[in-house]
Structure 1
Amino acid sequence: MKNTLFICLFALFAFSGCVDDEEDFATGGNISPELTPENKENAELNAAVFEQLNLDYPGLEKVKQYYEAGENYLAASALLEYYRMRSNVENPNLSLIDVITTTAEKEKADYALEYCFASSNFVDKNGKPFSIKKDGVLDWTIVPSSVTSGEYQKQLHRHQWFIPQGKAYRETGDEKYVASWIEVYGDWIVQNPKPEAGPIDEGPWWQLQVAHRVSDQVQLLEYFKPASNFTPEWLTTFLTSFAEQADFLHDYPYTKSGNILITQANALTDAGILMPEFKRAQNWLDKGYEIYNAEIDNQFFSDGWHKEMSLQYHTDVMDSYYNMIAFYQTNNLASKISPDFIAKLRKPAEVLMHLTYPNYFRKAKNDSQDEKHPLPSFNDSWKEGKTRNVLLNNFKKYLTLFPDSEELRYMTTAVNGGSAQGVVPGNDMKLFDEAGYYIFRNGWQPESTVMIFSNNRSNDISPAMQVSSHNQPDNGTFELYINGRNFFPDSGVAAYSGDDIRTWFRGSDKHNTLTLKDMSRPEKEWKQNIEKAAGKLLTSQKSDNFEMISFENPSYSNLTHRRTVFFVKKQFFVLVDEAIGNASNPLYLSFNLCEGTDTEVVIDHGEVDSNNPASYSNGQNGAHTAFADGNNILVRTFADNNQAISMHSFNTPGAGEGDFTGRVSYVKDGGDYNNRPAYTIYSEKEADKNMRFITVILPVSGDTTTKKVEALFTDSGYSDNGGKLSVTIDDNETYNLEYIL
């Protein structure tokens, strides 16, 4: 009876508006310590929690008193009361005032009531998360028959629907969300015991899965603790499992540098600071700091780029470092972080700034892909979730770390057409030569032009470019943003694990680069993936007429791809591609264009007469766009003298069987993608001859059919030391360009 009274009174305190202040509501209400429940001698408790706790920690006096008297249920009840009332720690990432559940979160929370658990982007044909309930029980090993990616199981064990259920409970007060969490998580604990020998493969107790769970659980405790379903019995089960998982992360650090290890450090920091009542809390915190401190020089290049070469993991790792600093500062531990430690994060913060497209500053008018995605998608950097609001939050975080940065201040104020403060970042080309990213830019206004090249090194955990690598075999590829439109969006990811879809999207010819024909499959026009990513910047130059970079990659054992790029008058681009080496395979120079109808994005076909070298200036090897808004481009490719070229594209009659329909994906899982035009420039190569191509990409305001482009090499042939060429626009503007290596 006393227990019933306790629950009813607590519910009244928690859910009525009659509280003294917002802090009482946020912590669960002001519960009188006199409302002691009746002892339950047969309560199903996990008494191991009392051995894991430091019962001498301030506030646990009652817990210790009851436990030492053998009154475990009363001890657990006092412990629940303590957690409902405590205010000694603060999670800066969590606010329990006026919790609002988004439509997507509410959907995940409600689907979970039906045992349909949101696991990344994996859904059935009706767009619903897959159910793991089979024959009346939950099958945590299940892989739906339509899922070919191993990522499904990894994501499933990160319990991505629990936080939405916590928010839904806090917003509605509906206990069904709490009951669902307790049932499902309790079942998971029973069915997935901690392995005695440490991590096994990439299963439920792989460090990344455990780290995600631990960081979520410190929030779930706060979301759910006022609930009547959150009983003393459940608290002991929850806390015992929590400590077991935090101990696991402490005892089994990930063996390789990278985002997984940093995610592990983040979870240990969360656990150590937010759960100080545990005996090993300081050990957790110390281990997290040890990893953070040791890794800050290992995670990033000297130019600021994260070594896994993906903006996704770059921002994730930066978030973890920011999270660690915020936790320390919020909980009066800031003195333990040296200024030098924070200073090392400045260049990584600036990387994100320089990689941001100007549509970030455009006031949103629609829901188009170009409006939504202000970042490139190279190397497993999926566009999903990288909206201007996400970017803005990142820049706000970085500005708190570096309040003297007027450029970061600009990024936080000029977004979405806002009133700009601070200083506009510069327009000069930006070279991250160690990581292999090069940026041309003529402004920071929405109508500006930005071209970004990716010329990676293999510095992540899989240097041989396996399918699991975050580095895609695409050295030399680029994205080109002009006036709000990305004309060459990266193909993306589509699937995050090693299946056929991921393999397709990683294909070198699915990017804007040069590849060889796969001679092991001569009956079809198959392209051979780049075998090595060891990008190197050769030179850069700035003059009154152009900015220029030249870089290369030893793509194959018998072929190096050298690409030189001119940004002429800050208006248009000229690419010189050189195939250097003794390879005798046919070559493919691939271009993957933006989405559009067949009248908006048009492949232009033309072949060159090898007996009449001058004729290549009249060839139409390339493409043009005809968007009604007048924001268009004209693309033309020209070959060296006496070098025959032809075009293959997916809609060309008689094209090789291995040619492909272009695709672009904006998500990381589920295999979703849109078709888009793509084509390749084809040419034969002899072993004793190096090959050269010129590609002009001309922005056009209006009708591209009125524009004419010609280009030719004006030197005596290929040279290791550079080259000369001439580009003429509309028969009246000629630009003589030269690169010296």
Structure 2
Amino acid sequence: MSANVVNTLRLRAFTTFLSLSASLALAALIFRVVRSWSGRDYIGDSSFLIVSYITYHFVDVRLLPILALSAAIVTILYWISRRTGKQLLLPNFIVIPVFLLTFLFAAGILFKLVSPVDRLVSATTLSDKDFIALFDLQNPSLSKVRISYENQDYQEAQNRLLDYFQSRFRAHSETVRERVDPKQVLKTANLALEHSFTIKGRTKMFPDNIGWHPELSDDREWTYLLNRTLWFDDLVTASLLTDDRHYTDEFSRQFKDWIAGNPLPLWINERNPAWRLIDTGIRPYSSWIEVFKLLVNSPYVDDETRLLMLKSLHDHAQYLFYFQTSGTNHVLIESRGLLKLANEFPEFKRAGRWREVAIRRLESEIRKQVYPDGGHVELSSDYHVRSLNHFVFPLRQTSGPEAHVAPGYREKVEAMRDFLFYTLKPDLRLPLLNDTNTRDISKKLLSEARTDHRGDLLFIVTQGAEGVPPPVRSRAFEDSGVYVMRSDWTELAQYLIFDAGPYGGWHGHEDKLSFELSAYGTPMIVDGGAYRYSGDKLYRAYFVSSAAHNTVLIDGRGQSRRFIEANKRPERADEAQRNESNLWFSDEEIDYVSGIYRDGYSDMQNSGSGDPVIDKSVTHRRDIVYIKNDYFVIADTLSGSGTHDVELLFHLPPESLPQIAGESVNIRYPNEATLEILPKGQGQLDIFITAGQRKPIQGWFSSEKYEAVPAPVVAMKFRAKLPTTLYTVLVPSPAAAVTENRFHVNNLAVLDTNCESTKVCLEITSTKSVDRITFPSSDMAGRLSYSKKINSGEPVSFERRVREAGTGDGPHNK
């Protein structure tokens, strides 16, 4: 190919490249215009123009003349070649860089034109005139501000603005003592004076200025939480309670230091500890709005600080308005923060737009994040509560105009309440599903039930003292894959919650088919909890793994759903398919549930780096039958091929006292209630009790302070050729002093006769009766057939023959 032809092709390619650059930038511009016209003039969830995003960060404005000169040189050469008819040969080392630089120039410049950064200007950098112009001066309440502004006395306009807010929030500051616990406020404020901060169980003290970006490389989450500055309102409140200016002086120093060290960014950077979007949303509604409402009337805070806080609140709103995350609970927090700012400061011109966008985002997310049965897609009890609080917020706002939400929004909120209240443990604590740490929220739940005028929820949270009984005690949340078995609504109820749902995304645990059990006023079998998100990676990996849950390990390996790409983010509720392999039945005598895990097993400590070895040759099916008011039976069926080491785990609360008694385990709890674990399987079964073991990590519980506390775990180990089934009977009993008529199992047998070929019979002989429970067999074809029977209304077979004292078996009851 001749040089002239090559050069011509290069020049044509160059012009084509320029055309594509212009087209791409034009498409971005149109996209922005359409989003703005549609009311979505925020770009946090858009993925357009990745190259332009890069150029925004890396193309310095000072480089633009160089890029323009490069483009001009090539353009001139092209023009000369066209005019003279001479094909000018340009070497590759010139053509290719010029092509790329020109593209970056075009895309970068146009991206800067279509992005919101020209409008995202920090209010802290504005002139007095431009700052006052951020307010709706047509608002009659701001008439004095408007007069000063029109008279071009902008300093006086700012004074009148502060006068207005002082009047508006005076009652709020005067009644602060009624809303707080003075002892707790002063404790937090005094620690803040010393620059000592304890976050999620970890304390750090700063001798001089607070390092807003401390080098805690092993615990980035701690730094994020520090920048929420949740103690700011304690400092200002302490000053009002004690009339001591030391608190407000320290607040002013810390606040101004934070502003100086953390200027408003012009683009999203989720690794920026100060402006991560979730923290930008939390600061206003958890601290800074309250701070402003108090400090505006404090005699010890100067006007400069008051105005700086007001300006920064505007910055927070604008940042939350233009940018957002997507697909997680973070966007709910961001939306709530934006809505709170709009409601508390309707005087800002943009407040109406902030409110509209915040509500629209919440409407969109409730469709994506809440299943039809009310479960949240992350399937964490803790994040369910948090998400419910955010979704409820626009329905309960005490300031701003009434929120008008989309059809179906309120119904989803009510479904979320149902899920929360019906899954509560008898002690009114949350079940530890996925990332959840134990905590008492009973007072908040009582307030919720009374505010919402829900008689059934009031009955649940008062344990029958108020309200009306719910229509059912046991309940299946089949979209979420969560099932609850319960004897009654008292604190002494027998209760089991079973998790057979999806993984749940980033907050998910390897806990499918795990369960928790409570009875007679105490938790008996527990989930390990969540621990800390960052810090000690080995312990975090343990708490997420199957080893910290009440399920099985195969050849020392746990479940491996976290390595499936689709599980790394929660599924969309409006696109999810219900798991039809789960079965549920409930009547007055029994509850029955069944679930399957078939996603494979891998090393529990593998954090996701590299390619984990996943063994998918084993399928675990767990059937649970609750014989109401007496006991629970668990059938663990392992299908596949070959011979494997199987380990069945039962995690106990830290204060429990387990003891091996032959082939069973007896556990005593602090209130003297007991639990008996009776296994029945094929071959030799070895039982071990471990607590606080470090190598390998086993036997730990995550406390309310996010600390790992030693806790006993019962491990039942056996080697079996598949398929095999292990049956376990769990018999909870009250304290001996409560009743002499304790339910006690005398014998447990798997029957080979008198059962249909597609079923397995378990016979349980107790002091009260002889019970026979018929399960579907481990054969999958039989299971499918049985599934149809369940759906048509036939329960798992249960027969009870009551034993009469001294006369053997009594009459037959079914």
TM-score grouping bracket, smaller chain normalisation: 0.7 to 0.9
Residue 108, structure 1, aligned to residue 188, structure 2 = yes
Partners of 1:46 and 1:115 in 2: how far apart? 33
Tell me by how many angstroms 1:289 deviates. 0.9
- The size of the alignment, in residue pairs, is 619
Residue 57, structure 1, aligned to residue 139, structure 2 = yes
* Cross-structure match for 1:236: 307
Is residue 213–residue 273 contact of structure 2 (8 Å, CA) maintained in 1? no
Helix, strand or coil for the counterpart of 1:298?
Answer: helix
Match of 2:432 among 377, 390, 395: 377
Match of 1:470 among 507, 516, 526: 507
Q: Give the counterpart letter for 2:422 in structure 1.
A: H
Normalised to the residue count of structure 1, the TM-score between the two structures is: 0.77
Residue 172, structure 1, aligned to residue 242, structure 2 = yes
Specify whether residues 628 and 236 from structure 1 end up closer, same or farther in structure 2 by C-alpha distance, changes over 3 A only.
Answer: closer
List aligned pairs for 1:46-85, cutoff 5 A. 47=128, 48-85=130-167
Partners of 1:194 and 1:44 in 2: how far apart? 10
Tell me by how many angstroms 1:119 deviates. 3.1
* Cross-structure match for 2:295: 224
Is residue 363–residue 405 contact of structure 2 (8 Å, CA) maintained in 1? no
Tell me by how many angstroms 1:484 deviates. 0.8
* Cross-structure match for 1:452: 497
Tell me by how many angstroms 1:199 deviates. 2.6
Tell me by how many angstroms 1:428 deviates. 4.1
Specify whether residues 44 and 331 from structure 1 end up closer, same or farther in structure 2 by C-alpha distance, changes over 3 A only.
Answer: closer
Tell me by how many angstroms 1:332 deviates. 4.0
Is residue 743–residue 766 contact of structure 2 (8 Å, CA) maintained in 1? no
Is residue 601–residue 623 contact of structure 1 (8 Å, CA) maintained in 2? no
* Cross-structure match for 1:693: 726
Specify whether residues 306 and 722 from structure 1 end up closer, same or farther in structure 2 by C-alpha distance, changes over 3 A only.
Answer: farther
Residue 346, structure 1, aligned to residue 402, structure 2 = no
Partners of 1:341 and 1:67 in 2: how far apart? 42
Partners of 1:425 and 1:585 in 2: how far apart? 45
Partners of 2:484 and 2:148 in 1: how far apart? 65
User: What RMSD, in angstroms, separates the aligned Cα atoms of the two structures?
Assistant: 3.3
Residue 645, structure 1, aligned to residue 679, structure 2 = no
Match of 1:252 among 314, 320, 323: 323
* Cross-structure match for 1:359: 427
* Cross-structure match for 2:766: 729
Helix, strand or coil for the counterpart of 1:212?
Answer: helix
Tell me by how many angstroms 1:168 deviates. 2.2
List aligned pairs for 1:404-415, cutoff 5 A. 405-411=454-460, 414=462
Specify whether residues 484 and 46 from structure 1 end up closer, same or farther in structure 2 by C-alpha distance, changes over 3 A only.
Answer: farther
Is residue 45–residue 73 contact of structure 1 (8 Å, CA) maintained in 2? no
Match of 1:538 among 577, 582, 605: 582
Deviations 1:623-658 (A, max 9, x none): 212347441111111113xx3322233279xxx995
* Cross-structure match for 2:800: none
Partners of 2:757 and 2:530 in 1: how far apart? 36
Is residue 169–residue 294 contact of structure 2 (8 Å, CA) maintained in 1? no
Residue 683, structure 1, aligned to residue 718, structure 2 = yes
Deviations 1:566-605 (A, max 9, x none): 1114310000001122365422111111233xxx622316
Is residue 552–residue 558 contact of structure 2 (8 Å, CA) maintained in 1? no
Helix, strand or coil for the counterpart of 1:52?
Answer: coil
* Cross-structure match for 2:67: none
Residue 488, structure 1, aligned to residue 525, structure 2 = yes
Specify whether residues 46 and 155 from structure 1 end up closer, same or farther in structure 2 by C-alpha distance, changes over 3 A only.
Answer: farther
Specify whether residues 701 and 406 from structure 1 end up closer, same or farther in structure 2 by C-alpha distance, changes over 3 A only.
Answer: closer
* Cross-structure match for 1:139: 211
Specify whether residues 595 and 559 from structure 1 end up closer, same or farther in structure 2 by C-alpha distance, changes over 3 A only.
Answer: same
Normalised to the residue count of structure 2, the TM-score between the two structures is: 0.70
Match of 2:555 among 506, 509, 517: 517
Specify whether residues 46 and 679 from structure 1 end up closer, same or farther in structure 2 by C-alpha distance, changes over 3 A only.
Answer: farther
Partners of 1:154 and 1:283 in 2: how far apart? 28
Partners of 2:197 and 2:516 in 1: how far apart? 36
Partners of 1:52 and 1:718 in 2: how far apart? 79
Q: Give the counterpart letter for 1:485 in structure 2.
A: T
Tell me by how many angstroms 1:548 deviates. 1.3
* Cross-structure match for 1:302: 372
Q: Give the counterpart letter for 1:234 in structure 2.
A: T
* Cross-structure match for 1:188: 258
Deviations 1:231-273 (A, max 9, x none): 222222112211111101010011x223111111111111111
List aligned pairs for 1:272-351, cutoff 5 A. 272-327=342-397, 330-334=399-403, 336-337=404-405, 340-351=408-419
Match of 2:659 among 603, 606, 612: 603
Specify whether residues 298 and 60 from structure 1 end up closer, same or farther in structure 2 by C-alpha distance, changes over 3 A only.
Answer: same
Match of 1:208 among 278, 289, 293: 278
Is residue 219–residue 534 contact of structure 2 (8 Å, CA) maintained in 1? yes
Partners of 1:665 and 1:72 in 2: how far apart? 56
Is residue 535–residue 551 contact of structure 1 (8 Å, CA) maintained in 2? no
Specify whether residues 721 and 224 from structure 1 end up closer, same or farther in structure 2 by C-alpha distance, changes over 3 A only.
Answer: farther
Tell me by how many angstroms 1:186 deviates. 1.0
Residue 631, structure 1, aligned to residue 673, structure 2 = yes
Specify whether residues 290 and 628 from structure 1 end up closer, same or farther in structure 2 by C-alpha distance, changes over 3 A only.
Answer: closer
Q: Give the counterpart letter for 1:131 in structure 2.
A: M
Helix, strand or coil for the counterpart of 1:493?
Answer: coil
Specify whether residues 661 and 504 from structure 1 end up closer, same or farther in structure 2 by C-alpha distance, changes over 3 A only.
Answer: closer
Q: Give the counterpart letter for 1:138 in structure 2.
A: I
Match of 1:667 among 694, 704, 729: 704
Is residue 236–residue 247 contact of structure 2 (8 Å, CA) maintained in 1? yes
Residue 121, structure 1, aligned to residue 166, structure 2 = no
Partners of 2:174 and 2:514 in 1: how far apart? 40
Is residue 597–residue 621 contact of structure 2 (8 Å, CA) maintained in 1? yes
Tell me by how many angstroms 1:717 deviates. 14
Specify whether residues 717 and 560 from structure 1 end up closer, same or farther in structure 2 by C-alpha distance, changes over 3 A only.
Answer: farther
Q: Give the counterpart letter for 1:644 in structure 2.
A: Q
* Cross-structure match for 1:421: 466
- For structure 2, the residue ranges without an aligned partner over 5 or more in a row are 1-123, 568-577, 601-615, 777-785, 788-814
Q: Give the counterpart letter for 2:483 in structure 1.
A: Y
Is residue 132–residue 142 contact of structure 1 (8 Å, CA) maintained in 2? no
* Cross-structure match for 2:558: 528
Is residue 645–residue 682 contact of structure 1 (8 Å, CA) maintained in 2? yes
* Cross-structure match for 1:366: none
Tell me by how many angstroms 1:441 deviates. 0.6
Which one has the bigger helix percentage? 2
* Cross-structure match for 1:10: none
* Cross-structure match for 2:775: 738
- For structure 1, the residue ranges without an aligned partner over 5 or more in a row are 1-42, 124-129, 361-373, 463-468, 519-526, 607-619
Helix, strand or coil for the counterpart of 2:531?
Answer: coil
Specify whether residues 181 and 702 from structure 1 end up closer, same or farther in structure 2 by C-alpha distance, changes over 3 A only.
Answer: closer
The structure with higher relative contact order (CA 8 Å, sep 6+) is 1
Is residue 45–residue 233 contact of structure 1 (8 Å, CA) maintained in 2? no
Specify whether residues 627 and 191 from structure 1 end up closer, same or farther in structure 2 by C-alpha distance, changes over 3 A only.
Answer: closer
Is residue 353–residue 411 contact of structure 1 (8 Å, CA) maintained in 2? yes
Deviations 1:365-403 (A, max 9, x none): xxxxxxxxx22122112123x332132233334x2xxx3
Deviations 1:265-316 (A, max 9, x none): 1111111111112121112111101101112211210111011101111111
* Cross-structure match for 2:65: none
Partners of 2:313 and 2:688 in 1: how far apart? 57
Deviations 1:23-66 (A, max 9, x none): xxxxxxxxxxxxxxxxxxxx999635224223333232333333
Is residue 165–residue 181 contact of structure 1 (8 Å, CA) maintained in 2? yes
Is residue 583–residue 593 contact of structure 2 (8 Å, CA) maintained in 1? yes
Helix, strand or coil for the counterpart of 1:448?
Answer: coil
Is residue 460–residue 489 contact of structure 2 (8 Å, CA) maintained in 1? no
Q: Give the counterpart letter for 2:541 in structure 1.
A: T
* Cross-structure match for 2:168: 86
Is residue 515–residue 530 contact of structure 1 (8 Å, CA) maintained in 2? no
Tell me by how many angstroms 1:695 deviates. 0.5
Partners of 2:262 and 2:379 in 1: how far apart? 34
